[in-house]
Structure 1
Protein backbone atom coordinates (compact mmCIF):
# COMPACT_ATOMS: atom_id res chain seq x y z
CA UNK A 1 0.00 0.00 0.00
CA UNK A 2 1.38 3.42 -0.97
CA UNK A 3 1.88 6.16 1.70
CA UNK A 4 -0.98 8.13 0.15
CA UNK A 5 -3.53 5.32 0.35
CA UNK A 6 -2.29 4.29 3.79
CA UNK A 7 -2.89 7.82 5.03
CA UNK A 8 -6.32 7.80 3.42
CA UNK A 9 -7.29 4.59 5.20
CA UNK A 10 -5.96 5.90 8.51
CA UNK A 11 -7.96 9.10 8.04
CA UNK A 12 -11.25 7.17 7.79
CA UNK A 13 -10.41 5.03 10.81
CA UNK A 14 -9.70 8.06 12.99
CA UNK A 15 -12.62 10.07 11.63
CA UNK A 16 -15.72 7.94 11.00
CA UNK A 17 -17.62 8.80 7.81
CA UNK A 18 -20.52 11.20 8.04
CA UNK A 19 -22.88 12.57 5.43
CA UNK A 20 -23.62 16.23 6.08
CA UNK A 21 -24.85 17.58 2.75
CA UNK A 22 -24.19 15.26 -0.23
CA UNK A 23 -27.05 12.91 -1.04
CA UNK A 24 -26.09 9.38 -2.12
CA UNK A 25 -27.96 6.57 -3.82
CA UNK A 26 -26.61 3.02 -3.84
CA UNK A 27 -27.92 -0.27 -5.13
CA UNK A 28 -30.27 -2.04 -2.70
CA UNK A 29 -29.40 -5.37 -1.09
CA UNK A 30 -28.11 -7.92 -3.58
CA UNK A 31 -28.07 -11.71 -3.57
CA UNK A 32 -26.12 -13.63 -6.21
CA UNK A 33 -24.77 -17.13 -6.81
CA UNK A 34 -21.16 -18.23 -6.66
CA UNK A 35 -19.11 -17.57 -9.82
CA UNK A 36 -21.57 -14.86 -10.88
CA UNK A 37 -20.58 -11.24 -11.40
CA UNK A 38 -22.37 -8.24 -9.95
CA UNK A 39 -22.37 -4.46 -10.44
CA UNK A 40 -23.09 -2.15 -7.51
CA UNK A 41 -24.20 1.31 -8.62
CA UNK A 42 -23.62 4.61 -6.83
CA UNK A 43 -24.52 8.24 -7.47
CA UNK A 44 -24.46 11.54 -5.57
CA UNK A 45 -25.46 15.14 -6.20
CA UNK A 46 -22.29 17.19 -5.58
CA UNK A 47 -20.11 18.00 -8.63
CA UNK A 48 -17.28 19.21 -6.39
CA UNK A 49 -16.73 15.66 -5.04
CA UNK A 50 -14.51 14.51 -7.90
CA UNK A 51 -12.98 11.47 -6.18
CA UNK A 52 -15.04 8.28 -5.76
CA UNK A 53 -13.93 5.59 -3.32
CA UNK A 54 -15.20 2.09 -2.55
CA UNK A 55 -14.93 0.20 0.74
CA UNK A 56 -15.65 -3.34 1.85
CA UNK A 57 -16.88 -4.18 5.37
CA UNK A 58 -17.07 -7.83 6.41
CA UNK A 59 -19.75 -8.84 8.92
CA UNK A 60 -17.19 -10.13 11.42
CA UNK A 61 -15.26 -6.85 11.49
CA UNK A 62 -16.32 -3.26 12.25
CA UNK A 63 -13.43 -1.91 10.15
CA UNK A 64 -13.75 -0.97 6.49
CA UNK A 65 -11.13 -1.94 3.89
CA UNK A 66 -10.36 0.39 1.01
CA UNK A 67 -10.91 -1.33 -2.35
CA UNK A 68 -9.81 1.54 -4.56
CA UNK A 69 -10.49 5.10 -5.69
CA UNK A 70 -10.25 7.31 -8.74
CA UNK A 71 -11.06 10.56 -10.51
CA UNK A 72 -13.66 10.52 -13.26
CA UNK A 73 -11.16 11.20 -16.06
CA UNK A 74 -8.34 8.94 -14.84
CA UNK A 75 -7.64 5.26 -14.36
CA UNK A 76 -8.65 4.06 -10.88
CA UNK A 77 -6.20 2.94 -8.19
CA UNK A 78 -6.68 -0.45 -6.48
CA UNK A 79 -5.50 -1.82 -3.17
CA UNK A 80 -3.70 -5.19 -3.05
CA UNK A 81 -5.53 -8.22 -4.45
CA UNK A 82 -8.70 -6.23 -5.19
CA UNK A 83 -7.22 -5.44 -8.60
CA UNK A 84 -7.67 -9.08 -9.70
CA UNK A 85 -11.49 -9.37 -9.62
CA UNK A 86 -12.75 -5.87 -8.72
CA UNK A 87 -13.26 -3.07 -11.23
CA UNK A 88 -14.18 0.58 -10.60
CA UNK A 89 -16.19 2.41 -13.28
CA UNK A 90 -16.97 6.13 -13.58
CA UNK A 91 -19.56 7.40 -16.02
CA UNK A 92 -19.00 10.97 -14.84
CA UNK A 93 -18.34 12.92 -11.64
CA UNK A 94 -21.71 12.05 -10.12
CA UNK A 95 -22.06 8.37 -11.01
CA UNK A 96 -19.95 5.25 -10.76
CA UNK A 97 -20.08 1.54 -10.04
CA UNK A 98 -18.18 -1.37 -8.55
CA UNK A 99 -18.02 -4.58 -10.58
CA UNK A 100 -17.04 -7.88 -8.94
CA UNK A 101 -16.47 -10.97 -11.09
CA UNK A 102 -16.14 -14.70 -10.42
CA UNK A 103 -17.67 -14.25 -6.97
CA UNK A 104 -17.11 -16.48 -3.96
CA UNK A 105 -18.73 -16.62 -0.51
CA UNK A 106 -15.75 -14.61 0.81
CA UNK A 107 -17.08 -11.61 -1.14
CA UNK A 108 -20.22 -11.43 1.01
CA UNK A 109 -20.00 -8.06 2.76
CA UNK A 110 -21.39 -4.53 2.85
CA UNK A 111 -19.92 -2.28 0.15
CA UNK A 112 -19.78 1.47 0.71
CA UNK A 113 -19.47 4.14 -1.93
CA UNK A 114 -17.82 7.40 -0.83
CA UNK A 115 -16.81 10.67 -2.46
CA UNK A 116 -14.30 13.39 -1.63
CA UNK A 117 -12.81 16.57 -3.07
CA UNK A 118 -9.24 15.22 -3.08
CA UNK A 119 -7.29 12.14 -2.06
CA UNK A 120 -5.62 12.18 1.36
CA UNK A 121 -4.99 15.21 3.51
CA UNK A 122 -7.85 16.63 5.53
CA UNK A 123 -10.45 16.36 2.78
CA UNK A 124 -13.74 15.10 4.20
CA UNK A 125 -15.39 12.10 2.60
CA UNK A 126 -19.13 11.61 2.27
CA UNK A 127 -20.59 8.11 2.38
CA UNK A 128 -23.58 6.32 0.98
CA UNK A 129 -25.74 3.99 3.04
CA UNK A 130 -23.99 0.84 1.85
CA UNK A 131 -25.08 -2.17 -0.20
CA UNK A 132 -25.36 -5.54 1.53
CA UNK A 133 -24.16 -8.22 -0.87
CA UNK A 134 -24.60 -11.93 -0.21
CA UNK A 135 -23.05 -14.64 -2.36
CA UNK A 136 -25.43 -17.54 -1.88
CA UNK A 137 -23.71 -20.71 -0.78
CA UNK A 138 -24.14 -23.86 -2.82
CA UNK A 139 -27.01 -26.04 -1.64
CA UNK A 140 -28.76 -23.32 0.36
CA UNK A 141 -32.09 -21.98 -0.82
CA UNK A 142 -33.50 -18.52 -0.17
CA UNK A 143 -35.77 -19.03 2.84
CA UNK A 144 -38.00 -16.35 4.46
CA UNK A 145 -38.17 -16.19 8.26
CA UNK A 146 -40.66 -17.61 10.71
CA UNK A 147 -41.76 -14.84 13.11
CA UNK A 148 -43.17 -15.19 16.63
CA UNK A 149 -43.97 -12.56 19.28
CA UNK A 150 -43.60 -13.69 22.90
CA UNK A 151 -45.50 -12.04 25.80
CA UNK A 152 -43.79 -10.35 28.77
CA UNK A 153 -42.65 -12.40 31.74
CA UNK A 154 -45.11 -12.35 34.64
CA UNK A 155 -42.17 -11.89 37.00
CA UNK A 156 -40.71 -8.85 35.26
CA UNK A 157 -39.48 -6.32 37.83
CA UNK A 158 -39.89 -2.58 37.92
CA UNK A 159 -37.06 -0.50 36.55
CA UNK A 160 -34.89 1.77 38.67
CA UNK A 161 -37.12 4.81 38.46
CA UNK A 162 -40.07 2.70 39.69
CA UNK A 163 -41.95 2.98 36.40
CA UNK A 164 -43.40 -0.38 35.51
CA UNK A 165 -42.31 -1.70 32.11
CA UNK A 166 -43.13 -4.82 30.16
CA UNK A 167 -40.83 -6.43 27.58
CA UNK A 168 -42.16 -8.12 24.45
CA UNK A 169 -39.78 -10.29 22.43
CA UNK A 170 -39.91 -10.90 18.67
CA UNK A 171 -38.02 -13.93 17.37
CA UNK A 172 -37.34 -14.45 13.65
CA UNK A 173 -35.80 -17.83 12.82
CA UNK A 174 -34.70 -20.14 10.01
CA UNK A 175 -34.06 -17.62 7.23
CA UNK A 176 -31.37 -17.29 4.56
CA UNK A 177 -29.67 -15.04 3.67
CA UNK A 178 -29.50 -12.48 6.47
CA UNK A 179 -31.04 -9.52 4.63
CA UNK A 180 -33.63 -8.59 7.26
CA UNK A 181 -34.96 -5.50 9.01
CA UNK A 182 -37.18 -5.71 12.11
CA UNK A 183 -39.69 -3.07 13.17
CA UNK A 184 -42.58 -2.79 15.67
CA UNK A 185 -45.99 -1.15 15.42
CA UNK A 186 -48.80 -0.47 17.86
CA UNK A 187 -52.34 -0.82 16.49
CA UNK A 188 -51.11 -0.49 12.92
CA UNK A 189 -49.60 2.97 13.47
CA UNK A 190 -46.16 4.29 12.64
CA UNK A 191 -43.02 2.31 13.41
CA UNK A 192 -42.07 2.40 17.09
CA UNK A 193 -38.54 3.58 17.86
CA UNK A 194 -38.66 4.28 21.60
CA UNK A 195 -37.88 1.23 23.73
CA UNK A 196 -36.82 -0.99 20.82
CA UNK A 197 -33.64 -3.06 20.97
CA UNK A 198 -32.75 -5.32 18.03
CA UNK A 199 -29.70 -7.55 17.62
CA UNK A 200 -26.99 -5.78 15.61
CA UNK A 201 -26.55 -8.77 13.33
CA UNK A 202 -28.39 -12.02 12.68
CA UNK A 203 -26.87 -15.09 14.31
CA UNK A 204 -26.14 -18.17 12.27
CA UNK A 205 -26.71 -21.71 13.45
CA UNK A 206 -27.20 -24.89 11.44
CA UNK A 207 -26.66 -22.86 8.21
CA UNK A 208 -29.74 -20.66 8.74
CA UNK A 209 -30.04 -17.33 10.54
CA UNK A 210 -32.05 -16.00 13.45
CA UNK A 211 -32.52 -12.56 15.02
CA UNK A 212 -34.39 -11.18 18.03
CA UNK A 213 -35.87 -7.79 18.84
CA UNK A 214 -37.21 -6.51 22.15
CA UNK A 215 -39.87 -3.87 22.82
CA UNK A 216 -40.23 -2.31 26.29
CA UNK A 217 -43.55 -0.57 26.85
CA UNK A 218 -45.25 0.98 29.89
CA UNK A 219 -47.29 -1.57 31.82
CA UNK A 220 -50.43 0.52 31.31
CA UNK A 221 -50.14 0.01 27.53
CA UNK A 222 -49.71 -3.73 27.93
CA UNK A 223 -52.61 -3.85 30.40
CA UNK A 224 -55.08 -2.87 27.71
CA UNK A 225 -56.54 -5.82 25.81
CA UNK A 226 -57.42 -3.75 22.73
CA UNK A 227 -53.77 -2.82 22.11
CA UNK A 228 -52.19 -4.90 19.36
CA UNK A 229 -48.38 -5.11 19.21
CA UNK A 230 -47.07 -6.22 15.81
CA UNK A 231 -43.53 -7.26 14.91
CA UNK A 232 -42.75 -7.21 11.18
CA UNK A 233 -39.62 -8.60 9.53
CA UNK A 234 -38.72 -7.28 6.09
CA UNK A 235 -36.79 -9.94 4.17
CA UNK A 236 -35.05 -9.40 0.82
CA UNK A 237 -35.16 -12.58 -1.26
CA UNK A 238 -32.82 -11.35 -3.99
CA UNK A 239 -35.61 -9.89 -6.11
CA UNK A 240 -38.08 -8.14 -3.84
CA UNK A 241 -38.91 -7.48 -0.20
CA UNK A 242 -41.11 -9.97 1.65
CA UNK A 243 -42.89 -8.94 4.86
CA UNK A 244 -43.52 -11.55 7.55
CA UNK A 245 -45.33 -10.48 10.75
CA UNK A 246 -46.79 -11.73 14.00
CA UNK A 247 -48.78 -9.88 16.67
CA UNK A 248 -49.93 -10.17 20.24
CA UNK A 249 -52.66 -8.34 22.14
CA UNK A 250 -52.27 -6.81 25.56
CA UNK A 251 -53.77 -8.38 28.65
CA UNK A 252 -56.34 -6.46 30.68
CA UNK A 253 -55.11 -5.79 34.19
CA UNK A 254 -54.79 -3.20 36.93
CA UNK A 255 -53.16 0.00 35.78
CA UNK A 256 -54.57 -0.24 32.28
CA UNK A 257 -55.56 2.97 30.58
CA UNK A 258 -58.65 1.46 29.01
CA UNK A 259 -61.00 2.03 31.95
CA UNK A 260 -63.19 -0.63 33.60
CA UNK A 261 -64.34 -3.31 31.17
CA UNK A 262 -67.78 -4.97 31.36
CA UNK A 263 -66.19 -8.26 32.37
CA UNK A 264 -64.21 -6.59 35.14
CA UNK A 265 -67.31 -4.69 36.34
CA UNK A 266 -69.49 -7.82 36.47
CA UNK A 267 -66.79 -9.78 38.25
CA UNK A 268 -66.24 -6.98 40.78
CA UNK A 269 -70.02 -6.59 41.36
CA UNK A 270 -70.48 -10.29 42.01
CA UNK A 271 -67.59 -10.27 44.45
CA UNK A 272 -69.04 -7.25 46.28
CA UNK A 273 -72.52 -8.83 46.47
CA UNK A 274 -71.08 -12.04 47.84
CA UNK A 275 -69.09 -10.20 50.47
CA UNK A 276 -72.12 -8.12 51.44
CA UNK A 277 -74.33 -11.23 51.72
CA UNK A 278 -71.78 -12.88 53.98
CA UNK A 279 -71.61 -9.74 56.10
CA UNK A 280 -75.45 -9.64 56.49
CA UNK A 281 -75.56 -13.34 57.35
CA UNK A 282 -72.86 -12.96 59.96
CA UNK A 283 -74.51 -9.86 61.43
CA UNK A 284 -77.88 -11.65 61.67
CA UNK A 285 -76.27 -14.64 63.35
CA UNK A 286 -74.43 -12.50 65.86
CA UNK A 287 -77.65 -10.57 66.54
CA UNK A 288 -79.55 -13.77 67.28
CA UNK A 289 -76.77 -14.98 69.58
CA UNK A 290 -76.83 -11.69 71.51
CA UNK A 291 -80.63 -11.78 71.80
CA UNK A 292 -80.48 -15.37 73.07
CA UNK A 293 -77.91 -14.41 75.70
CA UNK A 294 -79.99 -11.45 76.84
CA UNK A 295 -83.15 -13.59 77.09
CA UNK A 296 -81.25 -16.25 79.01
CA UNK A 297 -79.84 -13.61 81.37
CA UNK A 298 -83.32 -12.18 82.01
CA UNK A 299 -84.77 -15.64 82.77
CA UNK A 300 -81.95 -16.28 85.21
CA UNK A 301 -82.59 -12.93 86.96
CA UNK A 302 -86.35 -13.58 87.28
CA UNK A 303 -85.71 -16.94 88.94
CA UNK A 304 -83.40 -15.38 91.53
CA UNK A 305 -86.06 -12.83 92.42
Structure 2
Protein backbone atom coordinates (compact mmCIF):
# COMPACT_ATOMS: atom_id res chain seq x y z
CA UNK A 1 0.00 0.00 0.00
CA UNK A 2 2.72 2.47 1.00
CA UNK A 3 4.76 1.49 -2.07
CA UNK A 4 1.85 2.31 -4.40
CA UNK A 5 1.20 5.62 -2.68
CA UNK A 6 4.90 6.51 -2.87
CA UNK A 7 4.93 5.79 -6.60
CA UNK A 8 2.06 8.25 -7.08
CA UNK A 9 3.66 10.71 -4.65
CA UNK A 10 6.95 10.56 -6.55
CA UNK A 11 5.14 11.54 -9.75
CA UNK A 12 3.52 14.45 -7.95
CA UNK A 13 6.89 15.46 -6.50
CA UNK A 14 8.52 15.46 -9.91
CA UNK A 15 5.72 17.64 -11.24
CA UNK A 16 6.04 19.97 -8.26
CA UNK A 17 8.45 22.86 -8.12
CA UNK A 18 11.33 22.17 -5.67
CA UNK A 19 11.12 25.79 -4.52
CA UNK A 20 7.94 24.98 -2.61
CA UNK A 21 9.19 25.08 0.95
CA UNK A 22 6.33 26.21 3.17
CA UNK A 23 7.53 25.48 6.68
CA UNK A 24 10.23 23.04 5.51
CA UNK A 25 13.78 23.73 6.69
CA UNK A 26 16.84 21.82 5.51
CA UNK A 27 20.31 22.18 7.04
CA UNK A 28 23.09 22.63 6.08
CA UNK A 29 23.01 24.02 2.54
CA UNK A 30 26.59 22.89 1.79
CA UNK A 31 28.69 19.91 2.87
CA UNK A 32 32.32 19.39 1.94
CA UNK A 33 33.72 16.07 3.13
CA UNK A 34 36.58 13.67 2.61
CA UNK A 35 36.07 10.10 1.35
CA UNK A 36 35.10 7.53 4.01
CA UNK A 37 33.84 10.17 6.44
CA UNK A 38 30.17 10.38 7.53
CA UNK A 39 27.75 13.19 6.77
CA UNK A 40 24.32 14.13 8.12
CA UNK A 41 21.57 16.33 6.71
CA UNK A 42 18.65 17.53 8.84
CA UNK A 43 15.11 18.37 7.79
CA UNK A 44 12.17 19.72 9.78
CA UNK A 45 8.69 21.00 9.01
CA UNK A 46 5.81 22.66 10.82
CA UNK A 47 2.85 21.43 8.76
CA UNK A 48 0.49 19.92 11.31
CA UNK A 49 -1.31 17.48 9.01
CA UNK A 50 1.87 16.05 7.43
CA UNK A 51 3.48 12.92 8.86
CA UNK A 52 6.03 11.87 6.24
CA UNK A 53 9.48 13.12 5.22
CA UNK A 54 11.04 11.74 2.07
CA UNK A 55 14.68 12.01 1.02
CA UNK A 56 15.93 12.37 -2.57
CA UNK A 57 19.25 12.49 -4.38
CA UNK A 58 19.77 14.53 -7.56
CA UNK A 59 22.98 13.35 -9.26
CA UNK A 60 25.32 16.04 -10.56
CA UNK A 61 24.43 17.06 -14.09
CA UNK A 62 20.99 15.41 -14.01
CA UNK A 63 17.47 16.72 -13.48
CA UNK A 64 15.81 13.57 -12.13
CA UNK A 65 15.43 12.69 -8.44
CA UNK A 66 16.23 9.31 -6.93
CA UNK A 67 14.21 8.30 -3.88
CA UNK A 68 16.61 7.30 -1.09
CA UNK A 69 14.08 6.57 1.63
CA UNK A 70 11.45 8.05 3.92
CA UNK A 71 10.25 8.35 7.47
CA UNK A 72 6.52 7.81 8.00
CA UNK A 73 5.78 8.92 11.57
CA UNK A 74 8.57 6.92 13.28
CA UNK A 75 8.79 4.12 10.72
CA UNK A 76 11.90 4.30 8.50
CA UNK A 77 12.51 2.76 5.08
CA UNK A 78 15.48 2.80 2.69
CA UNK A 79 15.35 1.91 -1.00
CA UNK A 80 17.31 -1.22 -1.94
CA UNK A 81 19.85 0.71 -4.05
CA UNK A 82 20.86 2.80 -1.02
CA UNK A 83 20.76 0.18 1.75
CA UNK A 84 24.00 -0.22 3.70
CA UNK A 85 25.16 3.22 2.67
CA UNK A 86 22.36 5.55 3.80
CA UNK A 87 20.12 5.60 6.86
CA UNK A 88 17.16 7.76 7.86
CA UNK A 89 15.91 8.59 11.34
CA UNK A 90 13.44 10.82 13.16
CA UNK A 91 9.70 11.43 13.16
CA UNK A 92 8.01 12.29 9.85
CA UNK A 93 5.54 14.50 11.71
CA UNK A 94 8.30 16.85 12.87
CA UNK A 95 11.86 16.22 11.71
CA UNK A 96 14.17 13.70 10.10
CA UNK A 97 17.85 13.13 9.39
CA UNK A 98 19.59 11.57 6.43
CA UNK A 99 22.83 9.82 7.33
CA UNK A 100 25.56 9.02 4.82
CA UNK A 101 27.59 6.35 6.58
CA UNK A 102 30.76 6.82 4.49
CA UNK A 103 31.08 9.38 1.73
CA UNK A 104 32.15 8.06 -1.64
CA UNK A 105 33.72 9.98 -4.49
CA UNK A 106 32.19 10.72 -6.93
CA UNK A 107 28.93 8.82 -6.30
CA UNK A 108 27.82 10.88 -3.32
CA UNK A 109 28.69 14.30 -4.77
CA UNK A 110 25.14 15.46 -5.53
CA UNK A 111 22.21 17.59 -4.42
CA UNK A 112 19.99 16.16 -1.67
CA UNK A 113 16.42 17.22 -0.99
CA UNK A 114 13.94 16.42 1.72
CA UNK A 115 10.21 16.73 1.11
CA UNK A 116 7.37 16.88 3.64
CA UNK A 117 4.14 15.17 2.66
CA UNK A 118 1.31 12.99 3.91
CA UNK A 119 0.53 9.34 3.35
CA UNK A 120 -2.31 10.05 0.92
CA UNK A 121 -1.43 10.69 -2.72
CA UNK A 122 -3.39 13.96 -2.90
CA UNK A 123 -1.11 15.71 -0.38
CA UNK A 124 1.00 18.52 -1.83
CA UNK A 125 4.70 17.90 -1.25
CA UNK A 126 6.90 20.72 0.06
CA UNK A 127 10.65 20.59 -0.50
CA UNK A 128 13.54 21.89 1.53
CA UNK A 129 16.00 24.23 -0.19
CA UNK A 130 18.46 21.42 -0.87
CA UNK A 131 21.94 20.48 0.31
CA UNK A 132 24.91 20.38 -2.03
CA UNK A 133 27.37 17.65 -1.04
CA UNK A 134 30.88 17.56 -2.48
CA UNK A 135 33.29 14.72 -1.72
CA UNK A 136 36.89 15.90 -2.10
CA UNK A 137 38.88 14.33 -4.87
CA UNK A 138 42.19 12.69 -3.94
CA UNK A 139 45.15 15.00 -4.42
CA UNK A 140 43.04 18.16 -4.62
CA UNK A 141 43.51 20.78 -1.93
CA UNK A 142 40.84 23.31 -1.02
CA UNK A 143 41.75 26.66 -2.58
CA UNK A 144 39.99 30.03 -2.37
CA UNK A 145 39.09 32.11 -5.44
CA UNK A 146 41.03 35.00 -6.92
CA UNK A 147 38.60 37.75 -7.93
CA UNK A 148 39.21 40.27 -10.72
CA UNK A 149 36.86 42.97 -12.03
CA UNK A 150 37.41 44.24 -15.58
CA UNK A 151 36.15 47.75 -16.41
CA UNK A 152 33.93 48.38 -19.44
CA UNK A 153 35.40 48.40 -22.93
CA UNK A 154 35.86 51.89 -24.35
CA UNK A 155 34.36 50.63 -27.62
CA UNK A 156 31.13 49.37 -26.09
CA UNK A 157 28.23 50.42 -28.28
CA UNK A 158 24.90 51.97 -27.54
CA UNK A 159 22.19 49.52 -26.53
CA UNK A 160 19.81 49.62 -29.48
CA UNK A 161 16.93 48.04 -27.57
CA UNK A 162 16.32 50.67 -24.91
CA UNK A 163 18.25 53.48 -26.63
CA UNK A 164 20.20 54.02 -23.41
CA UNK A 165 23.97 53.91 -23.35
CA UNK A 166 25.19 51.05 -21.15
CA UNK A 167 28.52 49.86 -19.84
CA UNK A 168 29.35 46.26 -18.89
CA UNK A 169 31.68 45.29 -16.06
CA UNK A 170 32.93 41.70 -15.91
CA UNK A 171 33.89 39.82 -12.75
CA UNK A 172 35.97 36.64 -12.99
CA UNK A 173 36.62 34.34 -10.01
CA UNK A 174 39.19 31.65 -10.73
CA UNK A 175 41.52 29.12 -9.17
CA UNK A 176 39.08 27.77 -6.57
CA UNK A 177 38.22 24.24 -5.51
CA UNK A 178 35.59 22.96 -4.94
CA UNK A 179 32.82 24.87 -6.70
CA UNK A 180 31.02 26.07 -3.56
CA UNK A 181 30.73 29.74 -4.53
CA UNK A 182 28.14 32.47 -4.97
CA UNK A 183 28.61 35.86 -6.65
CA UNK A 184 27.06 39.23 -5.85
CA UNK A 185 27.56 42.89 -6.85
CA UNK A 186 27.51 46.19 -5.00
CA UNK A 187 27.40 49.68 -6.51
CA UNK A 188 28.27 52.58 -4.27
CA UNK A 189 28.14 50.27 -1.25
CA UNK A 190 24.61 49.01 -1.95
CA UNK A 191 23.67 45.56 -3.21
CA UNK A 192 22.29 45.37 -6.77
CA UNK A 193 20.60 42.58 -8.72
CA UNK A 194 19.24 44.43 -11.75
CA UNK A 195 21.52 44.09 -14.74
CA UNK A 196 23.41 41.13 -13.25
CA UNK A 197 24.03 37.96 -15.27
CA UNK A 198 26.08 35.20 -13.62
CA UNK A 199 27.12 31.85 -15.06
CA UNK A 200 24.69 29.13 -14.00
CA UNK A 201 27.55 27.00 -12.68
CA UNK A 202 31.32 27.13 -12.32
CA UNK A 203 33.41 25.60 -15.11
CA UNK A 204 36.29 23.20 -14.53
CA UNK A 205 39.60 24.41 -15.92
CA UNK A 206 41.70 21.78 -17.69
CA UNK A 207 45.07 23.20 -16.66
CA UNK A 208 44.97 22.74 -12.88
CA UNK A 209 41.48 21.25 -12.43
CA UNK A 210 40.27 24.23 -10.42
CA UNK A 211 37.05 26.12 -11.14
CA UNK A 212 36.21 29.42 -12.78
CA UNK A 213 33.02 31.48 -12.82
CA UNK A 214 32.14 34.85 -14.34
CA UNK A 215 29.46 37.46 -13.76
CA UNK A 216 28.49 40.55 -15.73
CA UNK A 217 26.99 43.82 -14.49
CA UNK A 218 25.31 46.29 -16.87
CA UNK A 219 25.17 49.88 -15.61
CA UNK A 220 24.20 53.17 -17.17
CA UNK A 221 26.91 55.33 -18.72
CA UNK A 222 26.14 58.04 -16.18
CA UNK A 223 26.85 55.59 -13.35
CA UNK A 224 30.18 54.55 -14.83
CA UNK A 225 31.23 58.14 -15.63
CA UNK A 226 30.83 59.15 -11.98
CA UNK A 227 34.29 59.55 -10.44
CA UNK A 228 35.02 57.48 -7.32
CA UNK A 229 31.79 55.46 -7.56
CA UNK A 230 32.76 51.96 -6.46
CA UNK A 231 31.72 48.79 -8.30
CA UNK A 232 32.46 45.71 -6.20
CA UNK A 233 32.20 42.04 -7.07
CA UNK A 234 31.96 39.76 -4.00
CA UNK A 235 32.46 36.00 -4.07
CA UNK A 236 31.46 33.82 -1.11
CA UNK A 237 33.41 30.56 -0.83
CA UNK A 238 32.67 27.61 1.46
CA UNK A 239 35.88 25.80 2.43
CA UNK A 240 34.30 22.99 4.42
CA UNK A 241 34.22 24.68 7.81
CA UNK A 242 33.20 28.27 7.17
CA UNK A 243 32.37 30.72 4.38
CA UNK A 244 35.03 33.23 3.40
CA UNK A 245 34.42 36.35 1.33
CA UNK A 246 36.62 37.60 -1.49
CA UNK A 247 36.12 40.77 -3.52
CA UNK A 248 37.58 43.18 -6.00
CA UNK A 249 36.60 46.78 -6.74
CA UNK A 250 36.94 49.23 -9.60
CA UNK A 251 35.95 52.89 -9.55
CA UNK A 252 34.03 55.00 -12.00
CA UNK A 253 35.96 57.44 -14.16
CA UNK A 254 35.71 61.11 -15.11
CA UNK A 255 33.11 61.55 -17.81
CA UNK A 256 35.57 62.96 -20.34
CA UNK A 257 34.29 60.59 -22.98
CA UNK A 258 30.81 62.05 -22.59
CA UNK A 259 32.15 65.59 -22.95
CA UNK A 260 34.22 64.65 -25.98
CA UNK A 261 31.21 63.03 -27.59
CA UNK A 262 29.12 66.15 -27.03
CA UNK A 263 31.89 68.42 -28.30
CA UNK A 264 32.28 66.26 -31.39
CA UNK A 265 28.52 66.40 -31.93
CA UNK A 266 28.49 70.21 -31.69
CA UNK A 267 31.44 70.49 -34.09
CA UNK A 268 29.75 68.15 -36.54
CA UNK A 269 26.52 70.13 -36.30
CA UNK A 270 28.29 73.45 -36.88
CA UNK A 271 30.20 72.00 -39.82
CA UNK A 272 26.95 70.70 -41.30
CA UNK A 273 25.31 74.10 -40.90
CA UNK A 274 28.27 75.84 -42.55
CA UNK A 275 28.26 73.35 -45.43
CA UNK A 276 24.54 73.93 -45.89
CA UNK A 277 24.99 77.73 -46.00
CA UNK A 278 27.81 77.42 -48.54
CA UNK A 279 25.62 75.10 -50.61
CA UNK A 280 22.75 77.62 -50.55
CA UNK A 281 25.05 80.49 -51.54
CA UNK A 282 26.60 78.51 -54.38
CA UNK A 283 23.14 77.43 -55.56
CA UNK A 284 21.94 81.04 -55.51
CA UNK A 285 24.97 82.28 -57.47
CA UNK A 286 24.56 79.46 -59.99
CA UNK A 287 20.85 80.20 -60.31
CA UNK A 288 21.53 83.88 -60.85
CA UNK A 289 24.13 83.08 -63.49
CA UNK A 290 21.73 80.81 -65.37
CA UNK A 291 18.98 83.44 -65.22
CA UNK A 292 21.33 86.14 -66.53
CA UNK A 293 22.44 83.88 -69.38
CA UNK A 294 18.85 83.13 -70.36
CA UNK A 295 18.03 86.86 -70.30
CA UNK A 296 20.95 87.61 -72.62
CA UNK A 297 19.91 84.86 -74.98
CA UNK A 298 16.35 86.11 -75.09
CA UNK A 299 17.59 89.67 -75.73
CA UNK A 300 19.79 88.54 -78.63
CA UNK A 301 16.93 86.56 -80.17
CA UNK A 302 14.66 89.63 -80.00
CA UNK A 303 17.12 91.86 -81.85
CA UNK A 304 17.53 89.34 -84.66
CA UNK A 305 13.77 89.13 -85.16
CA UNK A 306 13.59 92.92 -85.51
Q: Which residue of 1 aligns with 2:169?
A: 168
Within 1, Cα distance between the matches of 2:124 and 2:136? 35
Within 1, Cα distance between the matches of 2:26 and 2:10? 23
Deviation at 1:3, TM superposition (A): 4.3
Structure 1 portions without partners, runs of 5+: 269-305
Q: Which residue of 2 aligns with 1:248?
A: 250
Q: TM-score scaled to structure 2, two decimals?
A: 0.78
Q: Is the contact between residue 32 and residue 238 of structure 1 (CA under 8 Å) also seen in structure 2?
A: yes
Does residue 8 of structure 2 align to residue 37 of structure 1?
no
CA RMSD of aligned residues (A): 2.2
Q: Which residue of 2 aligns with 1:90?
A: 90
Does residue 177 of structure 2 align to residue 181 of structure 1?
no
Number of residue pairs aligned between Structure 1 and Structure 2? 256
SS of residue in 1 equivalent to 2:33: strand
Q: Is the contact between residue 165 and residue 221 of structure 2 (CA under 8 Å) also seen in structure 1?
A: yes
Within 2, Cα distance between the matches of 1:23 and 1:97? 13
Matched ranges for 1:1-305 at <5 A: 3-19=4-20, 21-76=22-77, 78-91=78-91, 93-105=93-105, 106-119=107-120, 121-159=121-159, 160-189=161-190, 191-206=191-206, 207-253=209-255
1:81-106: per-residue Cα shift (whole Å, max 9, x none)?
A: 11231111115622111001221122
Runs of 4+ in 1 over 6 A off after TM superposition: none
SS of residue in 2 equivalent to 1:84: coil
Within 1, Cα distance between the matches of 2:214 and 2:132? 20
Deviation at 1:177, TM superposition (A): 0.8
Once the two structures are overlaid, the 10-residue window that deviates more, 80-89 or 31-40, is 80-89
Q: Is the contact between residue 72 and residue 91 of structure 2 (CA under 8 Å) also seen in structure 1?
A: no
Once the two structures are overlaid, the 10-residue window that deviates more, 30-39 or 54-63, is 54-63
Deviation at 1:218, TM superposition (A): 1.0
Within 1, Cα distance between the matches of 2:19 and 2:92? 23
Deviation at 1:200, TM superposition (A): 1.1
SS of residue in 2 equivalent to 1:75: strand
Within 2, Cα distance between the matches of 1:154 and 1:28? 41
Within 1, Cα distance between the matches of 2:119 and 2:3? 16
1:8-53: per-residue Cα shift (whole Å, max 9, x none)?
A: 2222222323436324242231111011111111222223221101
Q: Is the contact between residue 226 and residue 250 of structure 1 (CA under 8 Å) also seen in structure 2?
A: yes
Structure 2 portions without partners, runs of 5+: 264-306
Q: Is the contact between residue 74 and residue 91 of structure 2 (CA under 8 Å) also seen in structure 1?
A: no
